Amino acid sequence: MNEHDSERLAGILVADGLEPAEILEDADVVVFNTCCIRENAGNKLFGNLGYVRSLKRKKPGMQVAVTGCLSQMDPEDIQRRADHVDVVVGTHNLASTPGLLRRAVEQGPQMEILDAPDPESSLDAAPALNAVREVPWAAWMTIQTGCNNSCSFCIVPSVRGEEISRPVSDLVDEATMLAGRGVREITLLGQNVNSYGRDITKRQPLFAELLANIGAVEGIERVRYTSPHPKDLRPETIRAMAEVPEVCNQLHLPLQSGSNRILTAMRRGYTAERYLERLSDARASIDDLAVSTDLIVGFPGESDAEFEETLAVAAEANFDSAYTFIFSPRPGTRAADLSDVFISPEVVADRFERLTTVVERSALEKSMARVGRIEEALVEGRSRRDEMVISGRTRQGKPVHFTTEDREARVPGAFVSVKITRGAPHHLEGEFVELIAPTKTPQRLTLQVR
């Protein structure tokens, strides 16, 4: 979500007359759009701000802005530790950044932090179509901001606010215009996407209906989403994933822990047994489903036995991939107050290594099972490690690497078929079979601002 916010913020800055700089040292304006989910993100920010301070000494006219979640959480800390920052703006009014930068030229450093979204200066008020995207064939689409859950480790509700869903009609209109610009794949974004629309209906979520509506947009050939919450994974969402051809057979379902006591302490709202039951329902209904997850190691008070429960559930779930994180206490969350039962770094490191072994074993098993199959891949470009190799992504979201002499098949945005010859924990390798469809040529659109 932060990456998409950055794309839209870049689009606003371009619309205000700026141009993207090729390298940091050439920039007149530097914007850090921040995350505060883990402590390491803040450490990186201040390290980068230190480097920019040296650039600004050589180039006094350079402006520096810090936006996003870290600004929303503790703007005074940014001003105190980095007095060379010209603008500090939070999550609810990111679209104000260009105006604040102009004001800072005349009036000095500006800080504007709102307690709730401002309809006039939130990113949702700005045309997402003007986002500066890295690729023309894939786009993110924010369907919902904020979160109504109260997970004890998570700072998101404090910095993003309550859930606010965009109208279905607005999202369908945006998807239609994106398709006209050559976009073939859309990823729907929200803190808890499967509760989308509950604030609109005041009762039932509208997420399954939204999946069907976006899938029906002509030109959109793949629909993904992230992230759902296990407690809200409803039968109608599973049914939509199974029945709407455009919705990819990929599900990211954060587990966080396999211990019921820890899940209760995390305030997750489900048990390990309930999680596995819903995962089983999804796999039974959705053909060839790939499942990824999030897991936290070292939650305060986690015993050796409770960690063993997490290992057991992760092994039983047999994930295609997993994002494993070391617990990071965030000021203002319930879990941050449990310092008397924090787990020692040595124990956490050992557990992290053991969990990685379990999830990588199942990831390798899942990849190896695909050897010999023909997979549809959407070409993303040349491999970072070898320019002669082309990288794409399957409908399950798995990276696949192959070579081909077909020029059209090497162009990002093309659909190709690839025979899988090797499986690794984090990618597939294969032989090019044929070009399914070349890259789309964007249509010329006349946009009407309403």
Burial zone of 288 (CB within 10 Å; 0-12 exposed, 13-18 middle, 19+ buried): exposed
Mean pLDDT over 347-366 rounds to 98
Residue 369, pLDDT > 50, answer yes
Kindly report whether the global pTM for this prediction surpasses the value 0.85: yes
133-248 CATH: 3.30.750.210
Interhelix angle for 304-317 vs 272-285, to 10°? 10
Mean pLDDT over each residue of the chain, to the nearest integer = 93
Distance of alpha carbon 434 from alpha carbon 436, whole angstroms:
6
pLDDT in tens, 22-51: 999 999 999 999 999 888 888 899 999 999
Are 231 and 151 a contacting pair, CB within 8 Å? no
Which regions of the chain carry the CATH code 3.40.50.12160? 2-112
Say which residues have a Cβ less than 8 Å from residue 237's Cβ, sequence separation at least 6: 194, 207, 208, 211, 228
Mean pLDDT over 107-118 rounds to 91
- Considering only residues 46 and 444, tell me which one the structure prediction assigns the higher pLDDT: 46
Residue 446, pLDDT > 50, answer no
Which regions of the chain carry the CATH code 2.40.50.140? 374-437
CA 256 to centroid of chain Cα atoms? 17
Per CATH, the homologous superfamily of domain 2-112 is Methylthiotransferase, N-terminal domain (3.40.50.12160)
Q: Is the peptide bond before 227 cis (omega within 30 degrees of 0)?
A: yes
CATH architecture of 251-369: 2-Layer Sandwich (3.30)
- Write down the pLDDT at residue 128: 64
Which regions of the chain carry the CATH code 3.30.750.200? 251-369
Mean pLDDT over 111-139 rounds to 80
pLDDT in tens, 193-222: 999 999 999 989 999 999 999 999 999 999
Mean pLDDT over 128-132 rounds to 77
Residue 98, pLDDT > 70, answer yes
Residue 441, pLDDT > 90, answer no
Residue 125, pLDDT > 60, answer no
CATH architecture of 374-437: Beta Barrel (2.40)
Question: In angstroms, what CA-CA distances link 334 with 100, 331, 338?
Answer: 34, 9, 7
pLDDT in tens, 306-320: 999 999 999 999 999
Residue 166, pLDDT > 70, answer yes
Mean pLDDT over 164-181 rounds to 94
Residue 127, pLDDT > 50, answer yes
pLDDT in tens, 285-305: 999 999 999 999 999 999 999
Could you give the residue ranges of the DSSP H alpha helices within 292-381? 304-317, 345-368
Amino acid, res. 74: D
